[in-house]
Structure 1
């Protein structure tokens, strides 16, 4: 389960950067909303999967609410999921 969580964390981080770094400027500066819609749906799905897996992994490993909150906040920040992968998840595998 942890490996799946790590992969989801990386994919969620990539989708976040694509959404706000590439498709948002395309939407507002180049009037191309289609890429933003597609990447937005993918990012939203990955975000929900990330949060669900964070809850499951924290429960299974008895990491507690504090670490779950750290994971959740990291998902809201650019590069946050990459940080938690490096700091918390890599050494656990």
Structure 2
């Protein structure tokens, strides 16, 4: 793995964790509002999470090209982000695969 691929992988790992955390925050804000405990923060948190999710998808597609992922790996990475905390699992799995390939 060359230096550019390492940097791209590191950036993806950071974004994956941030995306997972922002998703959990969004879900918790939604639950808290529905239970009546807080004001509705979803309109503020939702767009922020949306932008982070789009950045995550962009990095996933960049990594697909850089690391020559097949379609199944790419779909796994994208679909895992739909599950709360799935991005953290993906981050760990991608890091493990990167170590194995070096």
TM-score by length of 2: 0.80
Matched, 1:71 2:88: no
Q: Deviations over 1:63-82 (max 9, x none)?
A: 12111100011000112111
Aligned length: 91
Structure 1 runs (4+) deviating above 4 angstroms are none
Q: Which runs of 5+ in 2 are unaligned?
A: 1-7
Spell out the pairing of 1:15-30 with structure 2 (5 A cutoff). 15-20=22-27, 22-30=28-36
Larger helix share, 1 or 2: 1
Q: Deviations over 1:15-52 (max 9, x none)?
A: 011011x210232222611x211111111011111011
* Partner in structure 2 of residue 53 of structure 1: 59
Matched, 1:44 2:50: yes
CA RMSD of aligned residues (A): 1.5
Which protein has the larger Cα radius of gyration, Structure 1 or Structure 2?
2
Q: Which runs of 5+ in 1 are unaligned?
A: none
